[in-house]
Structure 1
Amino acid sequence: MENYPQPISINMQQPYGRNGAGAPMTSFGPTVTTFIQPEPVPNPQDFVLWSFFNTMFCNPFCLGFIALVFSVKARDKKIARDPEGAKSFGIVAKNLNIAAVCLGTLSFILAIVVLAVVFSRIQQYNRL
Protein backbone atom coordinates (compact mmCIF):
# COMPACT_ATOMS: atom_id res chain seq x y z
CA MET A 1 0.00 0.00 0.00
CA GLU A 2 2.90 2.29 -0.70
CA ASN A 3 2.35 5.22 -3.02
CA TYR A 4 5.71 5.25 -4.76
CA PRO A 5 7.09 2.80 -7.33
CA GLN A 6 9.41 0.07 -6.22
CA PRO A 7 12.98 -0.36 -7.60
CA ILE A 8 13.16 -2.39 -10.80
CA SER A 9 16.03 -4.75 -11.65
CA ILE A 10 16.59 -5.83 -15.26
CA ASN A 11 19.02 -8.66 -16.00
CA MET A 12 20.58 -8.24 -19.45
CA GLN A 13 22.23 -11.70 -19.54
CA GLN A 14 21.42 -14.22 -22.27
CA PRO A 15 18.94 -16.94 -21.45
CA TYR A 16 20.28 -20.37 -20.59
CA GLY A 17 21.15 -22.40 -23.65
CA ARG A 18 23.87 -24.49 -25.25
CA ASN A 19 26.78 -23.27 -27.23
CA GLY A 20 28.10 -25.10 -30.29
CA ALA A 21 30.22 -27.52 -28.19
CA GLY A 22 27.24 -28.75 -26.16
CA ALA A 23 28.33 -27.05 -22.94
CA PRO A 24 26.02 -24.64 -21.15
CA MET A 25 26.33 -21.03 -22.30
CA THR A 26 27.77 -18.59 -19.84
CA SER A 27 27.62 -14.91 -20.40
CA PHE A 28 28.94 -12.14 -18.26
CA GLY A 29 26.87 -9.30 -19.66
CA PRO A 30 26.06 -6.13 -17.80
CA THR A 31 23.30 -6.02 -15.23
CA VAL A 32 21.29 -2.81 -15.31
CA THR A 33 19.51 -1.74 -12.15
CA THR A 34 17.24 1.27 -12.10
CA PHE A 35 16.17 2.89 -8.85
CA ILE A 36 13.32 5.34 -8.81
CA GLN A 37 13.56 7.65 -5.82
CA PRO A 38 10.24 8.31 -4.11
CA GLU A 39 9.14 11.90 -3.75
CA PRO A 40 9.99 13.27 -0.33
CA VAL A 41 6.95 13.31 1.91
CA PRO A 42 6.58 16.51 3.94
CA ASN A 43 7.06 15.86 7.63
CA PRO A 44 4.44 17.91 9.50
CA GLN A 45 5.13 18.63 13.13
CA ASP A 46 2.99 17.03 15.82
CA PHE A 47 4.19 18.94 18.97
CA VAL A 48 3.83 15.92 21.27
CA LEU A 49 6.60 16.93 23.69
CA TRP A 50 5.33 20.48 24.01
CA SER A 51 1.80 19.17 24.60
CA PHE A 52 3.05 16.72 27.21
CA PHE A 53 4.91 19.53 29.01
CA ASN A 54 1.77 21.69 28.97
CA THR A 55 -0.32 18.77 30.25
CA MET A 56 2.00 18.20 33.19
CA PHE A 57 3.00 21.73 34.18
CA CYS A 58 0.81 24.30 32.44
CA ASN A 59 -2.73 23.04 32.03
CA PRO A 60 -5.25 25.89 32.39
CA PHE A 61 -8.78 24.85 31.42
CA CYS A 62 -7.32 21.46 30.34
CA LEU A 63 -5.88 23.08 27.21
CA GLY A 64 -2.64 21.12 27.60
CA PHE A 65 -4.51 17.82 27.69
CA ILE A 66 -6.62 18.72 24.66
CA ALA A 67 -3.44 19.75 22.83
CA LEU A 68 -1.92 16.37 23.73
CA VAL A 69 -4.94 14.60 22.22
CA PHE A 70 -4.58 16.55 18.97
CA SER A 71 -0.83 15.92 18.96
CA VAL A 72 -1.36 12.18 19.22
CA LYS A 73 -3.91 12.35 16.42
CA ALA A 74 -1.39 14.25 14.29
CA ARG A 75 1.26 11.61 14.97
CA ASP A 76 -1.19 8.84 14.05
CA LYS A 77 -1.99 10.58 10.77
CA LYS A 78 1.73 11.00 10.08
CA ILE A 79 2.33 7.29 10.61
CA ALA A 80 -0.66 6.52 8.35
CA ARG A 81 1.02 8.67 5.65
CA ASP A 82 -1.72 11.29 5.58
CA PRO A 83 0.30 14.54 5.63
CA GLU A 84 -2.73 16.80 5.13
CA GLY A 85 -4.57 15.35 8.14
CA ALA A 86 -1.39 15.41 10.22
CA LYS A 87 -0.80 19.03 9.31
CA SER A 88 -4.34 20.09 10.28
CA PHE A 89 -4.20 18.28 13.64
CA GLY A 90 -0.69 19.66 14.21
CA ILE A 91 -1.84 23.24 13.63
CA VAL A 92 -4.68 22.81 16.14
CA ALA A 93 -2.26 21.30 18.68
CA LYS A 94 0.17 24.18 18.14
CA ASN A 95 -2.54 26.81 18.68
CA LEU A 96 -3.80 25.06 21.82
CA ASN A 97 -0.24 24.85 23.16
CA ILE A 98 0.28 28.57 22.56
CA ALA A 99 -2.97 29.35 24.37
CA ALA A 100 -2.04 27.04 27.25
CA VAL A 101 1.40 28.63 27.67
CA CYS A 102 -0.02 32.17 27.55
CA LEU A 103 -2.83 31.47 30.01
CA GLY A 104 -0.54 29.47 32.29
CA THR A 105 2.07 32.23 32.34
CA LEU A 106 -0.55 34.91 32.99
CA SER A 107 -2.13 32.91 35.80
CA PHE A 108 1.30 32.27 37.36
CA ILE A 109 2.15 35.99 37.26
CA LEU A 110 -1.30 36.88 38.60
CA ALA A 111 -0.87 34.41 41.48
CA ILE A 112 2.50 35.97 42.40
CA VAL A 113 1.01 39.47 42.35
CA VAL A 114 -1.98 38.40 44.47
CA LEU A 115 0.30 36.69 47.00
CA ALA A 116 2.54 39.76 47.18
CA VAL A 117 -0.46 42.02 47.81
CA VAL A 118 -1.91 39.67 50.43
CA PHE A 119 1.41 39.38 52.30
CA SER A 120 1.92 43.15 52.21
CA ARG A 121 -1.58 43.64 53.65
CA ILE A 122 -0.88 41.11 56.38
CA GLN A 123 2.36 42.89 57.30
CA GLN A 124 0.57 46.25 57.40
CA TYR A 125 -2.15 44.74 59.61
CA ASN A 126 0.45 43.24 62.01
CA ARG A 127 2.21 46.62 62.39
CA LEU A 128 -0.93 48.21 63.75
Structure 2
Amino acid sequence: MAAQHLSVGQWWIVAVATSALFVVAFHFAVRNRRATAYALIAPVLGALSVVAHSRARGQTGTEALVIFAACTFSMTLVLIVIRYETLKSEQKARAGEKYVLPKWKANVYGLLTVAFACVIAFLLL
Protein backbone atom coordinates (compact mmCIF):
# COMPACT_ATOMS: atom_id res chain seq x y z
CA MET A 1 0.00 0.00 0.00
CA ALA A 2 1.29 3.43 -0.85
CA ALA A 3 0.64 6.53 1.19
CA GLN A 4 -1.06 8.28 -1.73
CA HIS A 5 -4.01 5.87 -1.66
CA LEU A 6 -5.25 7.39 1.59
CA SER A 7 -6.36 10.98 2.04
CA VAL A 8 -4.90 13.28 4.67
CA GLY A 9 -8.03 12.83 6.79
CA GLN A 10 -7.63 9.07 6.67
CA TRP A 11 -3.98 9.39 7.69
CA TRP A 12 -5.08 11.48 10.66
CA ILE A 13 -7.39 8.63 11.64
CA VAL A 14 -4.46 6.20 11.38
CA ALA A 15 -2.30 8.57 13.46
CA VAL A 16 -4.96 8.87 16.17
CA ALA A 17 -5.46 5.08 16.20
CA THR A 18 -1.73 4.38 16.55
CA SER A 19 -1.52 7.03 19.27
CA ALA A 20 -4.34 5.33 21.17
CA LEU A 21 -2.58 1.98 20.77
CA PHE A 22 0.61 3.57 22.11
CA VAL A 23 -1.14 4.82 25.25
CA VAL A 24 -2.83 1.44 25.81
CA ALA A 25 0.48 -0.40 25.33
CA PHE A 26 2.20 2.02 27.69
CA HIS A 27 -0.42 1.32 30.35
CA PHE A 28 -0.05 -2.42 29.69
CA ALA A 29 3.74 -2.18 30.15
CA VAL A 30 3.82 0.11 33.19
CA ARG A 31 0.44 -0.39 34.95
CA ASN A 32 0.54 3.09 36.47
CA ARG A 33 -2.23 5.62 35.83
CA ARG A 34 -0.05 8.66 36.39
CA ALA A 35 2.60 7.37 33.98
CA THR A 36 -0.12 6.56 31.45
CA ALA A 37 -1.41 10.11 31.72
CA TYR A 38 2.11 11.38 31.06
CA ALA A 39 2.30 9.02 28.07
CA LEU A 40 -0.41 11.13 26.42
CA ILE A 41 2.13 13.93 26.04
CA ALA A 42 4.22 12.11 23.39
CA PRO A 43 1.41 11.63 20.82
CA VAL A 44 0.11 15.15 21.39
CA LEU A 45 3.55 16.67 20.84
CA GLY A 46 4.00 14.46 17.78
CA ALA A 47 0.70 15.63 16.30
CA LEU A 48 1.59 19.25 16.99
CA SER A 49 4.94 18.80 15.28
CA VAL A 50 3.24 17.23 12.24
CA VAL A 51 0.87 20.19 11.95
CA ALA A 52 3.64 22.76 12.45
CA HIS A 53 6.00 21.05 10.01
CA SER A 54 3.31 20.74 7.34
CA ARG A 55 2.15 24.32 7.66
CA ALA A 56 5.71 25.67 7.63
CA ARG A 57 6.43 23.89 4.36
CA GLY A 58 3.00 24.44 2.84
CA GLN A 59 2.40 20.71 2.40
CA THR A 60 -0.59 18.54 3.14
CA GLY A 61 1.31 16.53 5.70
CA THR A 62 0.84 13.02 4.34
CA GLU A 63 4.54 12.19 4.62
CA ALA A 64 4.79 13.53 8.15
CA LEU A 65 1.68 11.61 9.20
CA VAL A 66 3.03 8.38 7.72
CA ILE A 67 6.31 8.78 9.59
CA PHE A 68 4.47 9.71 12.81
CA ALA A 69 2.15 6.68 12.54
CA ALA A 70 5.08 4.35 11.77
CA CYS A 71 7.10 5.61 14.73
CA THR A 72 4.16 5.44 17.11
CA PHE A 73 3.29 1.91 15.98
CA SER A 74 6.88 0.70 16.35
CA MET A 75 7.09 2.18 19.87
CA THR A 76 3.83 0.39 20.67
CA LEU A 77 5.28 -2.96 19.65
CA VAL A 78 8.43 -2.36 21.69
CA LEU A 79 6.34 -1.45 24.75
CA ILE A 80 4.52 -4.76 24.43
CA VAL A 81 7.86 -6.60 24.29
CA ILE A 82 9.24 -4.63 27.23
CA ARG A 83 6.34 -5.77 29.44
CA TYR A 84 8.35 -8.90 30.27
CA GLU A 85 11.22 -6.74 31.51
CA THR A 86 8.93 -4.60 33.66
CA LEU A 87 7.40 -7.70 35.22
CA LYS A 88 10.87 -8.98 36.08
CA SER A 89 11.77 -5.58 37.55
CA GLU A 90 8.61 -5.52 39.67
CA GLN A 91 9.26 -9.03 40.99
CA LYS A 92 12.84 -8.15 41.94
CA ALA A 93 11.67 -4.93 43.61
CA ARG A 94 9.16 -6.86 45.73
CA ALA A 95 11.95 -9.20 46.78
CA GLY A 96 14.10 -6.22 47.76
CA GLU A 97 16.53 -6.65 44.88
CA LYS A 98 17.41 -4.19 42.16
CA TYR A 99 17.00 -5.15 38.52
CA VAL A 100 18.85 -3.23 35.86
CA LEU A 101 18.06 -3.84 32.22
CA PRO A 102 21.25 -5.04 30.54
CA LYS A 103 22.70 -2.43 28.22
CA TRP A 104 22.73 -4.76 25.26
CA LYS A 105 18.99 -5.43 25.63
CA ALA A 106 18.22 -1.72 25.80
CA ASN A 107 20.30 -1.16 22.67
CA VAL A 108 18.59 -4.01 20.83
CA TYR A 109 15.14 -2.66 21.76
CA GLY A 110 16.13 0.80 20.54
CA LEU A 111 17.57 -0.57 17.32
CA LEU A 112 14.47 -2.64 16.63
CA THR A 113 12.22 0.37 17.23
CA VAL A 114 14.12 2.58 14.79
CA ALA A 115 14.54 -0.17 12.19
CA PHE A 116 10.86 -1.13 12.27
CA ALA A 117 9.74 2.51 11.95
CA CYS A 118 12.11 3.06 9.02
CA VAL A 119 10.91 -0.06 7.22
CA ILE A 120 7.27 0.88 7.63
CA ALA A 121 7.86 4.45 6.49
CA PHE A 122 9.92 3.23 3.52
CA LEU A 123 7.21 0.80 2.44
CA LEU A 124 4.46 3.38 2.71
CA LEU A 125 6.28 6.32 1.17
**Bin of the TM-score, shorter chain as denominator length:** 0.3 to 0.5
Structure (1 or 2) with the larger CA radius of gyration: 1
Using structure 2 for the length normalisation, give the TM-score: 0.39
Q: Which has the higher strand share?
A: 1
Using structure 1 for the length normalisation, give the TM-score: 0.38
| Larger RCO (CA under 8 A, 6+ residues apart) | 2
Q: Which has the higher helix share?
A: 2
